[in-house]
Amino acid sequence: MRNILIWTVLASLFIAFQNDCGCNAQQDFNDRADFNPPKSNAPDWMASIEDRKLLSHITIPGSHDTMARYWGLLVECQALRLKDQLMAGIRYLDIRMDGNSKIVHGLFKQKATFADVIKITQEFLKEHKKETVLIRVKPEKPFKKNVKKGVQKVIQSYDNIIIRSSIPTMGEARGKIVLVQKDKFDLGIPIHGTDEEGDYMVTNIDKKKGKIQIHLQNASEECGKDKVILSYSSGTGVGTIRGFLTPKDVARKVNPWLHSYLKGLKNIIKAETCYGVIAMDFPGFDLIQTVIKLNR
């Protein structure tokens, strides 16, 4: 009996260690900073998209709060560095800026500037000329002043950044950055979010999954028109009264479910169906590739 009890305790500790150590056998959730892509990794997945297809008619894996990698569990939303996210297939970047062109998450600076983001993305596109990267700039409260001027100052020396509002085709966008406009930031193509106010606040994981299903259904109905559609799988319970789920807690539970759900969709969707951008926290390689494979 004593031996059984000892082994039960050891097994419990092993499972707990696995859950917190960044051991990601399923690769739908990733909280490791080291970049070890599987052989099936697809850094040039957009090469197979037809040139005539509009960007608004493509399903695109994205990262929510792309650069939020510092200041602990309450702030962090990603594990991989930007260049590694791009190599893993991420093609939509969610960039939060202050008025000094510093990348932030709320009040927390993320050890990078907007110029760094553009430089890293340009280096990627130089090596992967058939890809395109969508960048949404969000002026972060309370630093909204001068964000647009800061962006314009950085991009003025580049000739491969699209800032017009009309949706480009895949052929027009290859090898280029496409800025995305939302709310009061008005450079780039328009994007429409499927989420409603407060949907990012999570106190119940099952309810969050239900909201994601609704958002993806709405996205499939609106996708392919005159704006890019954006859905989030990310969320946080930080700041809520009825719970304390960090972004990583939410992603750890939502990502495996989302991976399975999207694999199911892949088997039933029509060739013309699209879901726009799916922005995720801590996505693993398999989850990213499953999003990519929704393009048929």
Mean pLDDT of 238-243: 74
Quick check: is 18 in a domain? no
Q: Is the pLDDT of residue 285 over 50?
A: yes
CA dihedral 178, 181, 185, 186 (to 10 degrees): 90
Quick check: is 49 in a domain? no
**pLDDT at residue 267 in the model:** 84
Mean pLDDT of 235-240: 86
Residues 263-284: tens digit of each pLDDT: 999 888 888 899 999 999 999 9
Quick check: is 30 in a domain? no
Residues 48-76: tens digit of each pLDDT: 999 999 999 999 999 999 999 999 999 99
In the chain, the percentage of residues whose pLDDT exceeds 90 is 79
Quick check: is 35 in a domain? no
Quick check: is 191 in a domain? yes
In the chain, the percentage of residues whose pLDDT exceeds 70 is 90
First to last CA, the chain: 56
Domain count, the chain: 1
pLDDT bin (cut points 50, 70, 90) of residue 15 is very low
**pLDDT at residue 169 in the model:** 98
Quick check: is 97 in a domain? yes
Mean pLDDT of 244-260: 96
Task: Say if pTM beats, i.e. exceeds, 0.85.
Answer: yes
- Distance, in Å, from the CA atom of 58 to the CA atom of 232, rounded to the nearest integer, reads 16
pLDDT bin (cut points 50, 70, 90) of residue 126 is very high
Residue 205 is part of a domain; what is its CATH number?
3.20.20.190
Residue 245 structural domain: 54-292
Q: Is the pLDDT of residue 25 over 70?
A: no
pLDDT bin (cut points 50, 70, 90) of residue 8 is very low
pLDDT bin (cut points 50, 70, 90) of residue 243 is low
User: Comparing 3-12, 30-39, 122-131, 144-153, which segment has the lowest mean pLDDT?
Assistant: 3-12
Quick check: is 107 in a domain? yes
Residues 184-221: tens digit of each pLDDT: 899 999 999 999 988 999 999 999 999 999 999 999 99
Quick check: is 81 in a domain? yes
